Structure 1
Amino acid sequence: MSQLRRALGAFYGLALGDALGMPTQSLSREQIQQRFGAIRTLEDAGPDQPIAANMPAGSITDDTEQAMLVGRLLVQGQGRIAPTALARSLIEWEAAMQAKGSQDLLGPSTKHAIELILAGHSVEEAGRYGTTNGAAMRITPVGIASDVADSDGFIQAVVQACQVTHNTSLGIASAAAVAAVVSAGINGACLADALLLGVQVARQAQAQGYWVAGANIAARLEWAATLSVDGDKQGFARMLYELVGTSVASQESVVTSFALAGQVVLGHLEAFEALCMAASLGGDTDTIAAILGAMLGACLGLEAWPRDLIDRVQQVNELDLQPLVQELLALR
């Protein structure tokens, strides 16, 4: 399988996961069960969806949009992201969202960092409180553009993409883990090996940024690999929701994405089934499914995803990711 098919699998997997989780984001597991039973395909958002009210089935959210933003900045910077350019782009993105009347705005860590930058604080200082999953959700382009085989250079590329908003041990380690799986997959690694490498790179990357208190990302990823469906898929989903967690905290949502990917390795879940489970969990479903889709797509290729659903996501969002993906691969 070509690097292009794997890279397209990653970016379209991110978009598909994002769209599957769009109608369920910020809802509880019980609310999702009442409204949808379980997510099995792309669904419309209802009028009382707290963030994406009345958005049509297949609509992407901030996860894909901000990943595209990072990808374009990487291309413009020929592989480097200028922190001030990222800050400015995120400010402009939120202003455009507000102008459209969207509730899909910057997450808490990113919002706080941007406020500090606007108040005159340095870029390095602005991201010192960012521990949520915002960096991990938009890191896929770094995994496409940078080769994890050069671990030091790879981690520096991740830090550049995180520093403005998530300049912490938790924010950087979680983003590095996701990017490493994507990069390893594009190099041809199987999913099992890519996930192991993700843990290793998270352990290296956690020395970067400001230390913050919180469960260790690499240790939690290793723990997540020991969890198993054991024939009870509903019980496994409930365990992820209640024990691992599905909030915007990176040590919950990113770890949940890895736990689901691990079940694909074991053959307990098919790739698309895992994506639908992520979208049905409750909590930050669009981000969990987007991260999972990126990692699975990089290792399994574009063929992992139902062609008709990818077509629908492309059509609804007027989305053609191939030119950007090709430019990112050229940087690699």
Structure 2
Amino acid sequence: MSDAANKAIDRAMGALVGGAIGDALGMPTQLLSPARITELYGHVDDFVAPVADHPVSKGLLAGTVTDDTEQALLLGRILVESGDHFDHARWVNGLLDWEREVKARGSYDLLGPSTKRAIDAINNGLPAEEAGRSGDTNGAAMRIAPVGIMMPLEPLDALVAKVAETCRATHNTSIAIASAAAVAAAVSHGIAGGGWRAASDSAVAAARLGATLGHWVTGGDIAARIVWAQDMVRGKVMKDAIRLITDLVGTGVASQESVPAAFAVLEVAGGDPWQAAVISANLGGDTDTIGAIAAGMAGACTGFSRLPPQHVARLVGIDMSEVRALAADLMAARVAKKGSGKDAAA
């Protein structure tokens, strides 16, 4: 394998494992307010176990990944198995099997509201292309990194079309597609060897294109909110940035809150995956998802080899050999696409 191919796979691993780090660090703080996080844990800068009465994370070990990572890896496998045309039936059945497995092991962190609503509709006979017409939360964006690994950044319309294809069954709305397209484009830019700031620019372009697809729903423009959120926190110290993100951008499951928040985190962290995870974990709200998105984008731009090994070693619930195999398969699919050999080696 060439040096360029090894570097590309390293960045693909960086996206997947970086996302897992952000997810696991935010696991014990998700759904909590910033004040409650401080009261229970102080400033979170390492993996900690959730409190015994946590609403969704109770009983998990420190460093455990959640639905964000598990669904991203599931989507990656479905992408590889689907070939050129995304297999919606396999994807929906995979999500159902995943939820059954999660319930069997006693977890409380199940499918998000948009995904759950769509799957219930599909089970009741609604076609997959119609089931996702009201899905506007961040479930698509949180698991979209494998699309960014597999799809070259150019042509951009092809990348965004693949994002929209994977969103159709659960998040077939303009705001969810725009959000997922932004994250996928940032990851794809990183896989090709680009830095985090230019990746943010690519994300804005992809969000604008994604907003023209799917069923239109109300909500702030994702591209504009990404630019605004990053501008607002630029040059701020972490404490002030956390307050601005929490108070003004928002950290809820709505796409127009959590996705711009993740890009703001990327700005404050200066593209450092671990710092992105730490900032996200202390925000309050949907900390695990914001962390997974922000640290995953940062990881794509830095690579797995630059992730802190002492923290990677403490992740729970993720098989590194499986992740490496998936990263290699997604990169093989990327290289197989027209013009992607040059892109992957950039």
TM-score over 0.5 for the pair: yes
Whether 1:4 aligns to 2:4 is: no
Q: Residue 286 of structure 2 corresponds to which residue in structure 1?
A: 284
SS in 2 for 1:124: helix
Find 2:307's aligned residue among 298, 305, 308. Answer: 305
Find 1:82's aligned residue among 73, 79, 87. Answer: 87
Find 1:325's aligned residue among 324, 327, 330. Answer: 327
CA contact (8 A) 1:136 1:254 kept: yes
Aligned positions of 1:1-332 closer than 5 A: 2-228=7-233, 230-265=235-270, 270-313=272-315, 317-320=318-321, 321-332=323-334
CA contact (8 A) 1:127 1:165 kept: yes
Runs of 5+ consecutive residues of structure 2 not aligned to the other structure: 335-346
The verdict on how the C-alpha distance between 1:228 and 1:70 changes in structure 2, with shifts beyond 3 A counting, is same
The verdict on how the C-alpha distance between 1:143 and 1:208 changes in structure 2, with shifts beyond 3 A counting, is same
Distance apart, 1:237 and its partner CA: 0.3
d(CA) in 2 for partners of 1:229, 1:113? 38
Q: TM-score of the superposition, structure 2-length normalised?
A: 0.92
Distance apart, 1:153 and its partner CA: 1.5
User: What amino acid does structure 2 have at the position aligned with 1:326?
Assistant: A
d(CA) in 2 for partners of 1:179, 1:317? 21
d(CA) in 2 for partners of 1:292, 1:141? 14
- Deviation per CA, 1:247-272: give whole Å up to 9, x if none: 0001100100001112234xxx8442
SS in 2 for 1:105: coil
CA contact (8 A) 1:185 1:299 kept: yes
User: What amino acid does structure 1 have at the position aligned with 2:299?
Assistant: G
Distance apart, 1:273 and its partner CA: 2.0
SS in 1 for 2:161: helix
CA contact (8 A) 2:229 2:245 kept: no
Distance apart, 1:213 and its partner CA: 0.7
SS in 2 for 1:106: coil
- Deviation per CA, 1:213-235: give whole Å up to 9, x if none: 11111111111121125443212
The verdict on how the C-alpha distance between 1:24 and 1:189 changes in structure 2, with shifts beyond 3 A counting, is same
d(CA) in 2 for partners of 1:48, 1:212? 36
User: What amino acid does structure 1 have at the position aligned with 2:245?
Assistant: L
- Deviation per CA, 1:46-86: give whole Å up to 9, x if none: 21111110211110000000001101101111243211211
User: What amino acid does structure 2 have at the position aligned with 1:284?
Assistant: D
d(CA) in 1 for partners of 2:236, 2:199? 25
CA contact (8 A) 1:16 1:310 kept: yes
Runs of 5+ consecutive residues of structure 1 not aligned to the other structure: none
Of stretches 271-280 and 32-41 in structure 1, the one that deviates more from structure 2 is 271-280
d(CA) in 1 for partners of 2:85, 2:149? 13
- What is the alpha-carbon root mean square deviation over aligned residues? 1.4
Distance apart, 1:303 and its partner CA: 3.4
d(CA) in 1 for partners of 2:319, 2:230? 37
SS in 2 for 1:212: coil
User: What amino acid does structure 1 have at the position aligned with 2:80?
Assistant: V
CA contact (8 A) 1:272 1:304 kept: no
d(CA) in 2 for partners of 1:261, 1:59? 22
SS in 2 for 1:129: coil
d(CA) in 2 for partners of 1:254, 1:231? 19
CA contact (8 A) 1:9 1:303 kept: yes
Provide the identity percentage.
44
Q: TM-score of the superposition, structure 1-length normalised?
A: 0.95
